[in-house]
């Protein structure tokens, strides 16, 4: 197995899952490792360097590829800032087509090919609202246009994934709940198709080993099949941390705080605690159709409470204090 983006959040968990099962894996990424224990199976390779990419494929001769590598932050201002998600995808398609051993590829996309709260009518129904989302739309289009049938390929759109080795924004959410700094918006009930990373890795691996005819040219959202209630999610996190109960604030106060965060962003502060974008995200139901994925995977291995418990245990290990 070859995993691009193996230093990323989902990639780190995927690499560990493969190693735990004794599967030969090579992880490639331009970014530093999150888990130093993966150093023996990792190479620093830039997706934007097709020569270096081809050399690694020629040496390792993978049969299966998880293409998780991408720029995933929302700080870019234009589509050009995300060339790893467009030109990088082209390079991956080219090198996979040039490597006879490659039989299966999963290309990671994103739920942000559509705006938060929008439920697309088909795999080709897009409405991104950020340059990052636009880059993922372009990446999907490139796969459909260029990948052909040389190998079996599937597009995977992770929803909002959380768990060990995570960072902004969901690590921040856990940190705020732990410190008593999370305030739920009034009495609002919000449902979200989030996903514990242990379940997401399970889904990705099930797709890779499914009958190729069933998953070839298909697009799947990746996440937990049962939506979470955000207040209940926060309360479970607080319980596991032995923190105080989750408190609520009226929407007008949260709106004011979000506008202050917007101002901080314009002044150059990269990650204020709350912005208008994040408040709108928090208050909007986000439900996805998993379109038959459960028929391929069967029941997921972790409940929400089990995932929270594993995540809290990971966060409480001193050496894991910073992801």
Give the C-alpha separation, 144 to 179, whole Å. 45
DSSP at 114: B
Give the C-alpha separation, 18 to 66, whole Å. 11
pLDDT category at 319 given cuts 50, 70, 90 is low
Token look-up 């942000």 returns 112
> What share of the chain has pLDDT > 90, as a percent?
82
Residue 153 tokens, joined? 């390929």
Question: Would you list the domain boundaries of the chain?
Answer: 2-158
End-to-end alpha carbon distance in the chain: 25
pLDDT category at 322 given cuts 50, 70, 90 is very low
DSSP H helices, 267-303, are 276-283, 293-297
The tens digit of pLDDT for each residue in 218-255 reads: 999 999 999 999 999 999 999 999 999 999 988 888 88
The tens digit of pLDDT for each residue in 167-202 reads: 988 999 999 999 999 989 888 899 999 999 999 999
Give the C-alpha separation, 188 to 179, whole Å. 22
pLDDT category at 258 given cuts 50, 70, 90 is confident
Give the C-alpha separation, 139 to 240, whole Å. 39
The tens digit of pLDDT for each residue in 272-285 reads: 777 888 788 788 89
SS3 category, 49: coil
Q: What is the pLDDT of residue 265?
A: 84
Give the C-alpha separation, 55 to 40, whole Å. 18
Give the C-alpha separation, 56 to 15, whole Å. 17
The helix or strand, by DSSP H or E, that contains position 254, with its residue range, turns out to be helix 251-266
Give the C-alpha separation, 68 to 220, whole Å. 14
The helix or strand, by DSSP H or E, that contains position 90, with its residue range, turns out to be helix 87-97
CA angle at 196 for the pair 194 and 200, rounded to the nearest 5° = 95
The tens digit of pLDDT for each residue in 278-306 reads: 788 788 899 999 989 999 999 999 999 99
For the ranges 52-56, 89-93, 117-121, 155-159, which has the lowest average pLDDT? Answer: 117-121
Question: What number is the average pLDDT over the span 156-165?
Answer: 98
Is it the case that residue 321 has pLDDT exceeding 50?
Answer: no
> What share of the chain has pLDDT > 70, as a percent?
98
Give the C-alpha separation, 99 to 69, whole Å. 19
The tens digit of pLDDT for each residue in 87-105 reads: 999 999 999 999 999 999 9
Q: Long-range contact list for 133-137, CB < 8 A, 24+ apart?
A: 134/79, 134/82, 135/71, 135/79, 135/82, 135/85, 135/86, 136/70, 136/85, 136/109, 136/110, 136/112, 137/113
On average, the pLDDT of the chain sits at 94
| CATH of segment(s) 2-158 | 3.40.50.720
């Amino acid at each position: 197995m070859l995993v691009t983006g193996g230093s990323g959040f989902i990639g780190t968990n995927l690499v560990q899952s493969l190693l735990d099962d004794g599967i030969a894996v090579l992880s490639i990424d331009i970014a530093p490792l999150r888990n130093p224990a993966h150093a023996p199976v990792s190479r620093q390779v830039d997706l934007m360097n097709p020569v270096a990419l081809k050399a690694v494929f020629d040496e390792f001769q993978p049969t299966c590829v998880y293409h998780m590598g991408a720029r995933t932050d929302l700080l870019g201002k234009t589509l050009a800032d995300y060339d790893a998600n467009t030109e990088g995808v082209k390079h991956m398609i080219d090198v996979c087509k040039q490597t006879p051993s490659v039989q299966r590829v999963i290309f990671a996309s994103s739920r942000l090919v559509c705006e938060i709260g929008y439920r697309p009518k088909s795999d080709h129904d897009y409405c991104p609202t950020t340059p990052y989302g636009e880059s993922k739309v372009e990446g999907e289009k490139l796969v459909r246009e260029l990948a052909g049938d040389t190998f079996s390929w599937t597009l995977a759109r992770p929803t909002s994934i959380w768990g060990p080795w995570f960072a902004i924004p969901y690590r921040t959410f856990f940190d705020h709940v732990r410190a008593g700094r999370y305030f739920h918006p009034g009495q609002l009930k919000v449902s979200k198709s989030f996903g514990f990373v242990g379940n997401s890795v399970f889904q990705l691996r099930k797709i890779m080993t499914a009958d190729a005819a069933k998953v070839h040219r298909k697009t799947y959202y990746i996440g937990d099949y049962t939506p979470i209630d955000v207040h209940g999610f926060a309360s479970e996190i607080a319980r596991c941390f032995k923190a105080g109960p989750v408190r609520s604030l009226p929407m007008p106060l949260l709106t004011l705080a979000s506008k202050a965060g917007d101002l901080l962003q314009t002044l150059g502060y990269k990650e204020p605690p709350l912005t208008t974008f994040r408040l709108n995200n928090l208050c909007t139901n986000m439900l996805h159709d998993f379109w038959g994925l459960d028929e391929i995977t069967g029941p997921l291995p972790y409940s929400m409470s089990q995932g929270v418990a594993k995540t809290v245990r990971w966060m409480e290990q001193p050496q894991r204090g910073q992801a």
